[in-house]
Amino acid sequence: MESVILGAVVALLTFLAGSLGLWAQGLLKDHNAVEKARDMIGSIVGLVTLLLSLVLGTLVGNTYYFSTGQQAQIQSLMVNEVMLDKALKTYGDETKPERDKIKASLQRVYEALWLGTIDPHELTLAGSVDGLKPLAAYLASLAPKTDEQRAALVDAKSRLSAFELTRIQMSMQAAAPFSKSLLGVVMIWAFVLFFGFGLISRASLTTRVALAFGSLSVGGALFIIIELAEPYTGLFRLSPAAIQQTIDAIDR
């Protein structure tokens, strides 16, 4: 909802900036008329157009890369989860209760992220570290008696370490998926650009319709950036296929 509201506000402000440019034409006297400065205004509008397209496109690309990166890291997490379960299974039947807990935990994560609401604390760095402490303590409590159990325990601990590292990286990336200050600068450029469009355009219904479409495009770009930056709750939510397959594969 926040992304829709912000996108609509930016679209409206952009349209108003263009309309202000159209209105400002009538205020300019003959010696300051737009016609006498059209070349200069056109050059500046072209410069701002280039800057806006480059930076706005980069922001959309960066947030898309962030979203797909989170998807890849989820897949990496699930690989380590499956291999951790395999190591515990190799260790012996006494790990069965802990493996059941791991599977139940994954099921809760799946239901929270894709079927309900997620606790923001679960996506923070502190939440990531705290959530893995019980499993780390369980592995530390194991006392292997055979070489096979020792090898399985070493493998399980390495898988947990890899899982924890990836989870921490995901949390840190999710904390700042894009620069809000840069996005603010880009929006200001958009307002200036559309004001310039209004200055060098002749007022008509067709002009205002084109102005509305352009404003909606800028607002739509902001909407996409915000939604891509929320890969677990936004419109472009990540696919749950990896975690679903992992839940099915664990404890078999």
**DSSP codes joined into one string, 191-219:** HHHHHHHHHTS--SHHHHHHHHHHHHHHH
For residue 27, report the phi and psi dihedrals to the nearest 5 degrees.
-85, -15
Give the residue from 149, 147, 40, 141 showing the smallest Cα distance to 89.
149
For residue 86, report the phi and psi dihedrals to the nearest 5 degrees.
-65, -40
* pLDDT given at position 13: 92
* pLDDT given at position 124: 62
* pLDDT given at position 212: 92
pLDDT tens string for the chain (252 positions)?
Answer: 688 888 899 999 999 998 888 887 777 666 565 666 666 777 788 888 888 889 988 999 999 999 898 889 889 989 999 999 899 998 888 888 888 888 888 888 887 777 765 554 455 655 666 777 888 888 888 888 888 999 999 999 999 899 888 888 888 888 788 888 888 899 999 999 998 888 887 878 888 899 999 999 999 999 999 999 888 877 888 888 888 888 888 866
* pLDDT given at position 48: 87
Cβ-contact 88, 150 below 8 angstroms:
no
Predicted TM-score (pTM) of this structure: 0.80
Residue 165 tokens read as 């590292």
DSSP classification of residue 26:
T
* pLDDT given at position 12: 93
CA-CA distance, 212 to 60, in Å (whole number)? 21
Residues 6+ apart with CB under 8 A from 212: 15
